[in-house]
């Protein structure tokens, strides 16, 4: 048996929140976690919306029924199967979404990439590889892709201002695990933000970052 690959066209979708215009000061690419959909995920950011901020939520390329063969549909960025090609495809996809907006036309615009849960590994791989301008990375209740360490001198993760956010009661990240992660992430110079809560988007934890690029 021989495995083969073929590149094809695929229609992907993304959602936006707010208006992109000359008043916009910040663009946020918000990347959802496993089993989520971009529409529902983006709705979590509605309390943060102002005339100065514009949110873009790409949806992962692989959809599935979260329970059984019907009902709620979620999406995933990758599995362990054909992993390297899935990574290559979603980095190209996220770059494609970025270029749709011609952000160079908006001087002084701050660009943030936020990855939640599984989206954290996705966003760190993207920020590492992309040639597009990203000023700030927020790893939210997720992990930096482990293969990125030690950081290459040309890595995009050396150019971004980096933040790590996690709830104190997060059911997936125990204190021993968080301590181990912080040790591993030292070379990224993370600023850490904690909040009282579980594995969810907490807008109060993000409010300061929406006011400061």
pLDDT along the chain (213 residues), means of 10: 93 97 95 97 97 96 88 92 95 97 90 97 97 96 94 91 95 90 88 94 93 77
d(CA 203, CA 199): 13
Cross-strand bridge partners of residue 174: none
d(CA 9, CA 145): 27
Is residue 111 a contact partner of residue 29, using CB atoms and an 8 Å limit?
A: yes
d(CA 116, CA 138): 8
62 φ/ψ angles, rounded to the nearest 5 degrees: -115, 115
Is residue 170 a contact partner of residue 195, using CB atoms and an 8 Å limit?
A: no
Q: Are strands 110-116 and 73-76 parallel, antiparallel or unpaired?
A: unpaired
* Neighbouring residues of 62: CB distance < 8 A, sequence distance ≥ 6: 75, 76, 77, 78, 79, 86
pLDDT value of position 133: 95
Q: What is the DSSP letter of 175?
A: H
DSSP states along 30-42: EE--TTB-HHHHH
pLDDT value of position 107: 82
pLDDT value of position 116: 98
d(CA 77, CA 62): 6
Domains, in order of start, for the chain: 14-211 (3.40.50.1820)
End-to-end CA distance of the chain: 52
Q: What is the DSSP letter of 52?
A: T
pLDDT value of position 212: 75
Tokens of 174: 């125990």
pLDDT value of position 67: 86
Q: What is the DSSP letter of 101?
A: T
Q: Per the confidence metrics, is the pTM higher than 0.85?
A: yes
Tokens of 2: 């021989």
């Amino acid at each position: 048996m021989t495995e083969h690959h073929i590149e094809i066209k695929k229609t992907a979708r993304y959602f936006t929140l707010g208006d992109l215009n000359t008043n916009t000061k910040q663009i946020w690419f918000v990347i959802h976690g496993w089993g989520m959909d971009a529409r529902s995920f983006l709705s979590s950011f509605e309390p943060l919306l102002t005339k100065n901020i514009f949110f873009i939520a790409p949806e992962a390329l692989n959809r599935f029924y979260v329970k059984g063969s019907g009902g709620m549909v979620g999406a995933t960025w990758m599995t362990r199967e054909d992993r390297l090609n899935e990574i290559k495809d979603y980095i190209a996809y996220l770059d494609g979404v970025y270029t749709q907006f011609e952000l160079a036309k908006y001087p002084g615009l701050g660009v943030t990439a936020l990855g939640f849960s599984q989206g954290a590994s996705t966003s760190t791989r993207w920020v590492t590889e992309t040639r597009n301008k990203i000023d700030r990375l927020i790893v939210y209740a997720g992990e930096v892709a482990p293969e990125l360490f030690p950081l290459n001198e040309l890595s995009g993760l050396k150019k971004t201002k980096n933040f790590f956010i996690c709830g104190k009661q997060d059911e997936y990240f125990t204190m021993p695990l968080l301590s181990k992660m912080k040790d591993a992430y030292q070379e990224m110079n993370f600023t850490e933000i904690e909040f009282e809560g579980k594995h969810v988007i907490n807008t109060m934890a993000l409010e300061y970052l929406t006011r400061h690029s």
